[in-house]
Amino acid sequence: MWWHQHNLCFRHPIEEDYSGDLEEKVATIAETDESAESEGVIDSRKRREILSRRPSYRKILNELSSDVPGVPKIEEEKSEEEGTPPNIATMAVPTSIYQTSTGQYIVNCLYKLVAFCFIAAATGDMPTYQIRAPTTALPQGVVMAASPGSLHSPQQLAEEATRKRELRLMKNREAAKECRRRKKEYVKCLESRVAVLEVQNKKLIEELETLKDICSPKTD
DNA sequence: GAGCAATATCGTCACCCCTG
DNA sequence: CAGGGGTGACGATATTGCTC
């Protein structure tokens, strides 16, 4: 939910490039649509139509990696451990970074900055952004479906349908968890890179000032 | 401590895209 | 082309921080 709350200065980094300002579009359509206007509520289906699909994180990262020479493609890691892997950046970044005007700028630029993550990772500058394969297996007790040919009565078919639905929901639940975990890692990676670049920038500015002092003629 | 707003987390649905 | 995985959107609920 935190991606699209109005008062939070933290827009989806990709949203900029793919769908523009959703709220604005929705508002525009609401104004022109009399039925929606009368109710003051935009039909969720209409909202969905407005939304243009964005590529997955994995796809974005892989595309970026192919654009950056020497950067390996992201592959599913066969990691079995939960928690923060030792080689993933865990640099602490103040959360206020989201809420300041600077934070807004940073976040709007995150999509572009992700390339830096890969460059840095490739050069050993910072840990690689990783995508782990889902680690959760089906819980014990989940029995695989009987073949449809073996079902006879409507009741059996109904049970089968229910069971299939529950299985699908369970899988989707796990997928959503995994997806969110990846998203967090993705953001963490970008935050780390921002922190590194801020330090770098500060150093360069200081260096520039020093050089200016040395080179400027003395006016006595 | 109660009440409230802001923010975070979770489950689900709908949809797109990839793979066999 | 069907099936399944990934993920944005949404609503419900939980948590947190602030004010009185």
- pTM score, whole prediction: 0.52
Asked if the Cβ of residue A6 lies within 7 A of any atom of strand B, the reply is no
Q: What is the pLDDT of residue A157?
A: 76
Which nucleotides in chain C lie closer than 7 A to a protein CB? 5-12
Q: Highest-confidence range of A55-64, A130-139, A174-183, by mean pLDDT?
A: A174-183
**CA distances (Å), origin A90, targets A102, A105, A212:** 21, 22, 37
A48: Cβ under 7 Å from strand B?
yes
The nucleotide lying nearest A176 (C-alpha to C1') is C7
Residue with tokens 């939960």: A82
pLDDT above 80 (res A40): no
User: Where would I find the H helices in A100-153?
Assistant: 101-108, 110-122
CA A147/CA A144 separation, integer angstroms: 9
pLDDT at A202 over 90: yes
Nearest nucleotide by C1' position to the A49 CA atom:
B15
* Cβ contact A218 with chain B strand, < 7 A: no
Question: Which residue, counting CA atoms, is nearest to the C1' of nucleotide B14?
Answer: A48
| Chain B positions with any atom < 7 A from a protein CB | 6-18
pLDDT band at A208 (very low <50, low <70, confident <90, very high): very high
If 0-12 CB within 10 Å is exposed, 13-18 middle and 19+ buried, where does residue A29 land?
middle
Report the nucleotide nearest the CA of residue A180, measured to C1'. Answer: C7
Q: Which two tokens stand for residue A173?
A: 């639940």
Name the nucleotide with the smallest C1'–CA separation from A178: C6
CA of A193 to C1' of C9 (A): 28
Cβ of A7 near strand B (under 7 Å)? The reply is: yes
Mean pLDDT of the A102-117 span: 37
Interval A141-197: pLDDT, tens: 333 334 444 556 777 777 777 888 888 888 888 889 888 888 888 888 888 888 899
Task: Report the DSSP beta bridge partners of residue A77.
Answer: A132
Mean pLDDT of A207-217: 90
Q: Do A120 and A196 form a contact (C-beta atoms < 8 A)?
A: yes
**Site of tokens 């206020």:** A96
